Chain A
Amino acid sequence: MSEHHESTRSPGEHAHPGAKEYLGIAVVLTVITAVEVAVYYVPAMRPMLVPVLLVLSAVKFSLVAMFYMHLKFDHRLFSWLFVVPMILMSLIVIGLLRLFGHW
């Protein structure tokens, strides 16, 4: 079966992870979500709440994109098709927030 996948894999693509790795990623995602909610309820974290939550959210986003959407293993072109609009979107959000006086 794996021979079949080896023969049909596109250039620049590597083998996808197995069920064990997928379960490991799910555990990490669950722990990060629990930390996010915990951080929200800790009053001492208030001053650092926004940067901490943004970093944790970015880590979760990256883990899903890299391992579950297989961007880490597929051809680079697929990553570019996704990352370039992401960067563009982030710049637009930041620009609009500045334009409307949020910073």
Chain B
Amino acid sequence: MAVAALSHPAPEAHPTSTGLNSRKMLFWAFLGSECMFFGSLISTYLIYRGRDSAGPHPHEVLNIPFTSFSAFVLLMSSLTMVLALAAVQHGNLRGTKIWLAATALLGMTFIAGQCYEFTHFFYDGLKLQSNLFGCTFFVLTGFHGTHVTVGVIWLWSLFMMAVRGKLPVERALDVEIAGLYWHFVDVVWIAIFTLVYLIQ
């Protein structure tokens, strides 16, 4: 394996002043900025919560059992993602493909659930322009859903790379960075599930 590593130098092998991988550091800085982005959306939601005179109100439309299942699905996708990373780091191509596909499918399940939920809300009379709750809720959860969609596209791209044999152990960092993004999307949902759904 050491020989293989020498003959195929990792793209992240260039020296840096910190000794740390610059791509990984850049991505952590990006996730830091994403914290601020979602923080602004969450604070906007919290500020305007309970200030609507016209409905629908959160307790009239939010479906806790359904969203709990969605939260569980996203948590399990974090498990499959980290198993995909472990597989690629150990040169297990079959495991990499299986776990990447499982993560993408779980992400698609979450998105499907969100589409169902949004459609349900629409027929219950909750739209983006209905009231402050509708506006802040759809913007917050919509941006999160968009992030999940981007993650699903990213995961299928990695899956296709694995299928074509272009995801060797030397490129494990590609999967690790995608994993960081995916786990971040998961932790944002942990916050949204508590602050929006459970604390009404």
Contacts and interface: CB of A to CB of B under 8 A. Distances in A.
Instruction: Indicate, yes or no, whether A interacts with B.
Output: yes
Given A36-B194, A81-B28, A82-B31, A3 B76 contact: no
Contacts, number: 142
A95 to B, nearest CB: 9
Given A26-B75, A89-B35, A102-B46, A68 B81 contact: yes
B33 A85 contact: yes
Nearest to A94: B43
A37 B28 contact: no
B1 A4 contact: yes
Contacts of B68: 33, 37
A89 B20 CA distance: 26
Interface residues of B, number: 56
A75 B198 CA distance: 35
Q: On chain A, which size bracket covers the interface?
A: 35 or more
Interface of B: 1-2, 4-5, 10, 13, 18-21, 24-25, 28-29, 31-33, 35-36, 38-40, 42-43, 46-47, 64-65, 68, 71-72, 75-76, 78-79, 81-83, 86, 89-91, 169, 179-180, 183-184, 186-187, 190-191, 193-195, 198-199
